[in-house]
Amino acid sequence: MKVFVPFRLDTLNQCLWRRRDTGPEERILLRPKSFLVLAYLVENAGRLVTHDELLEAVWSDSVVEPQAVKRHVLTVRSALGDRPKNPIFIETMPKRGYRFIAPVSAPVAAKCPEGAIGQARDLVGRGSAFEVLREMWRRVLNGERQVVFITGEPGIGKTALAEEFQRQVAVAERSVHIAHGQCIEGYGSKEPYGPMLDALGRLCRGPQGEPLVQILSAEAPTWLAQLPSLLTREHREMLHREILGATRERMLREIGDALESFTAETPLLLVFEDLHWVDDSTVDLISALARRRHPAKLMFLGTCRPLYTRSSPHPLGALMRDLVVRRFCREIALTSLNESEVEEYLGAQSPTSRPPQGLSAFVHRHSEGNPLFMVAALEHMAKRGLLSRVDGFWQLRGPLEQIEFEVPDDLRHLIEAQLEQLSAAEQRELEKASIVGAVFSERLIGCSEDIRSHNSEDLYEDLSRRHHIVKWAGTHSFPDGSTTERYEFAHVLYRQVLYDRQLPARRARLHRQVGERLAAMYERRIEDVVPELAYHFEQAGDWPRAIEFLQQAADLAVRRYAYRQAGAMLARALELVIHLPETGRIRTEPQLLATLAALRRETFDLRAIGTYDRMR
């Protein structure tokens, strides 16, 4: 028996358990080979285990590709909630193997320091932000719900802070749920309650999913009905009868109740990323969750860029102001790093030696204290050989005044320069990945022949290790049961630069390919990807399919009582109708107008009158 908090590895019965504060331990399911990989790494904790050694230990009876080892390690990491960057359990030693780095002990000795959230790793200048978060978390453990928004400019470190806080919470608590929802940029891809359904879906499919599905079934059937992949056909039909005539208010009330039951004992940290792209329904949801006064061990943490928009006020802006005034939420507004914080960062990069004279001032001036810019500038200097750390000692190639000319002083150009360091094939594949979105998998990209024979997953894994451009984002299952590794851009700006530099015709062609692949893979669960399909086909200029999927997305929104969003999607479809040939337009336009008019009439929207007029 081995323990690495909060897990217990029962080697005799080949089970992995995760501890909880109360109630029984939860069992984490692992396939036999994945279990053996984990057991071997834990058995040899602290030392490098090479690929060959793992192959020999786990597959001595059969011949397998070295690739299998990597796949099983990824599965294990995903089960432990670990990540290749900043791992707390399994560290990858590039080109050599793996090392289990968490302290391992016998069960009696394993006592978790509850609530003792440790120090931030790698991040500088965020001490007071962590203080606020830790204080809020202490309140959560006492049953006081907390809502916090981390705000600031792109690249200021919102995601880094949120991720580090999640890591600390996961390490400190014996039993905690952490759920993650992502807001997506772009018009058609905005799905009502997208981030919440994303988070619920992952929780329900996770090792602790069953109790949550039961709570949703009893207290939030309107939500369970939105997660069809978790239900049998009979259950789905029964639910649909049960929720007939439900309303938006009922949906909000139900999720509030369900989350209170779910967090009565085990705390939940609910993280929504990039709220500047939030959909209207999710704004209502955050508002409802923040205003409820019933006890809940619930912390909602949202990250958000500044909300000024040129045209209309952002719906979240008004909500945040109101919640702050009523003290229903806190805002942590991140600011740029100062010169001594940049110096601290450089110091942490090479603790054995001081950074060269003037380097922190140079980096600070150049990046204006923006961490993303700072990291990118240092990587650029390192890759160009302008700056190096040999045996822990910093070395500058020449005087800083000269180097100044070689480091672009605008983030976009700097990113361009970083990309130029990659091979032509790597750049081409990354450009394709940028079409898929901020998160992508090789299966959706469809790599070119030369890369495919080399293995494209290797390419992304290699890129994620060598450069600060993409990072591993977990293992993902497709409806047909196959799995794939997902990667994400280290920052949206990388995606943006790669996307923008492609010619429109190429982008359109690739969007169509991605849309077709996605539709084929999700043939049986098309609902899961309808908004994404609408986006890809619109970008492809494939108007019939874009309109078709916008209509389906509007249907989906209606089923979630998100009438405003459904109306917006239909209105968008109507704008696209103009691109259809005459015959198609004559058929489609009246249909769309009729649906939109009916929707507006249902919601007492006076624009219904005008819509009916257009139909005549």
Ligand X SMILES: Nc1ncnc2c1ncn2[C@@H]1O[C@H](COP(=O)(O)OP(=O)(O)OP(=O)(O)O)[C@@H](O)[C@H]1O
Cα(511)–Cα(435) distance, integer angstroms = 6
123 interacts with, out of ligand X, Mg ion, none, CB within 5 to 8 A per kind: ligand X
Nearer to ligand X, 145 or 158 (CB): 158
Minimum Å distance from CB 497 to ligand X? 13
Let me know the angle formed at the C-alpha of 566 by 562 and 234, rounded to the nearest 5 degrees: 65
Minimum Å distance from CB 490 to ligand X? 6
Nearer to Mg ion, 158 or 468 (CB): 158
Q: Is-contact 517 446, C-beta < 8 A?
A: yes
Minimum Å distance from CB 181 to ligand X? 14
* Secondary structure (3-state) at 326: coil
CB-CB neighbours of 516 under 10 Å? 17
Nearer to ligand X, 30 or 124 (CB): 124
* Secondary structure (3-state) at 144: coil
Residue 86: closest CA among 2, 167, 200, 178: 167
Nearer to ligand X, 196 or 490 (CB): 490
Does 159 interact with Mg ion (rule: CB under 5 A)? Answer: yes
CB-CB neighbours of 160 under 10 Å? 21
576 interacts with, out of Mg ion, ligand X, none, CB within 5 to 8 A per kind: none
Does 123 interact with ligand X (rule: CB under 6 A)? Answer: yes
* The only residue of 7, 98, 277, 345 in contact with ligand X, by rule CB under 6 A: 345
Minimum Å distance from CB 196 to ligand X? 19
Q: What are phi and psi of 199, to 5 degrees?
A: -65, -45
What are residue 91's DSSP bridge partners?
99
Q: What are phi and psi of 573, to 5 degrees?
A: -60, -40
Cα(456)–Cα(543) distance, integer angstroms = 31
| Cα 365 to the center of its chain, rounded Å | 31
Cα(379)–Cα(388) distance, integer angstroms = 10
What strands lie across the sheet with 483-489, from one edge to the other? 439-441, 483-489, 470-477
Binding positions for ligand X, 126-165, rule CB under 6 A: 126, 152, 154-160
Taking CB under 5 A as the binding criterion, the range among 141-149, 153-161, 320-328, 459-467 that sits at the site for Mg ion is: 153-161
Minimum Å distance from CB 199 to Mg ion? 17
Taking CB under 6 A as the binding criterion, the range among 47-55, 117-125, 260-268, 321-329 that sits at the site for ligand X is: 117-125
Token digits for 589?
């336009």
491 interacts with, out of Mg ion, ligand X, none, CB within 5 to 8 A per kind: ligand X
Taking CB under 6 A as the binding criterion, the range among 99-107, 119-127, 282-290, 378-386 that sits at the site for ligand X is: 119-127
Nearer to ligand X, 188 or 371 (CB): 371
Q: Is-contact 182 195, C-beta < 8 A?
A: yes
Site string for ligand X, 289-328 (x = CB under 6 A): --------------x-x-----------------------
Number of residues near ligand X (by CB under 6 A): 23
How far the first Cα of the chain sits from its last, in Å, is 76
| Cα 89 to the center of its chain, rounded Å | 20
The torsion defined by the Cα of 266, 473, 95 and 80, in degrees rounded to 10, comes to: 10
| Cα 225 to the center of its chain, rounded Å | 23
Across the chain, which distance is largest between two alpha carbons, in Å?
Answer: 79
282 interacts with, out of ligand X, Mg ion, none, CB within 5 to 8 A per kind: none
Nearer to ligand X, 35 or 494 (CB): 494
Binding positions for ligand X, 362-401, rule CB under 6 A: 371-372, 375
In the bound complex, which residue of the shown chain has the CB atom lying closest to ligand X? 157
Minimum Å distance from CB 172 to ligand X? 20
157 interacts with, out of ligand X, Mg ion, none, CB within 5 to 8 A per kind: ligand X
Does 565 interact with Mg ion (rule: CB under 5 A)? Answer: no
154 interacts with, out of Mg ion, ligand X, none, CB within 5 to 8 A per kind: ligand X
Minimum Å distance from CB 92 to ligand X? 18
Minimum Å distance from CB 475 to Mg ion? 22
Nearer to Mg ion, 158 or 467 (CB): 158
DSSP-derived secondary structure letter, 105: B
Nearer to Mg ion, 183 or 381 (CB): 183
Looking at beta carbons, which pairs linking 224-232 to residues 24 or more positions away fall under 8 Å?
225/559, 226/193, 226/197, 226/559, 226/560, 227/197, 227/200, 227/201, 228/525, 228/527, 229/201, 229/479, 229/525, 229/528, 230/201, 230/204, 230/205
368 interacts with, out of ligand X, Mg ion, none, CB within 5 to 8 A per kind: none
The one-letter code for the residue type at 88 is I
Binding positions for ligand X, 245-274, rule CB under 6 A: 274
Cα(234)–Cα(250) distance, integer angstroms = 23
Minimum Å distance from CB 259 to ligand X? 25
Nearer to ligand X, 97 or 302 (CB): 302
Nearer to Mg ion, 159 or 456 (CB): 159
Minimum Å distance from CB 159 to Mg ion? 3
Taking CB under 5 A as the binding criterion, the range among 22-30, 158-166, 396-404, 587-595 that sits at the site for Mg ion is: 158-166
Nearer to ligand X, 84 or 143 (CB): 84
Minimum Å distance from CB 381 to ligand X? 15
DSSP-derived secondary structure letter, 25: P
Cα(28)–Cα(80) distance, integer angstroms = 9
Cα(274)–Cα(182) distance, integer angstroms = 7
Taking CB under 5 A as the binding criterion, the range among 20-28, 154-162, 220-228, 554-562 that sits at the site for Mg ion is: 154-162
Residue with tokens 């923006």: 370
369 interacts with, out of ligand X, Mg ion, none, CB within 5 to 8 A per kind: none
Residue 211: closest CA among 257, 252, 261, 176: 261
Residue with tokens 């081409």: 428
Cα(500)–Cα(412) distance, integer angstroms = 11
Number of residues near Mg ion (by CB under 5 A): 2
Minimum Å distance from CB 376 to ligand X? 8
Nearer to ligand X, 38 or 120 (CB): 120
In the bound complex, which residue of the shown chain has the CB atom lying closest to Mg ion? 159
Minimum Å distance from CB 340 to ligand X? 13
Looking at beta carbons, which pairs linking 58-66 to residues 24 or more positions away fall under 8 Å?
58/33, 59/33
Cα(519)–Cα(533) distance, integer angstroms = 7
The site for ligand X (CB under 6 A) is made up of 122-126, 152, 154-160, 274, 303, 305, 345, 371-372, 375, 490-492
The site for Mg ion (CB under 5 A) is made up of 158-159
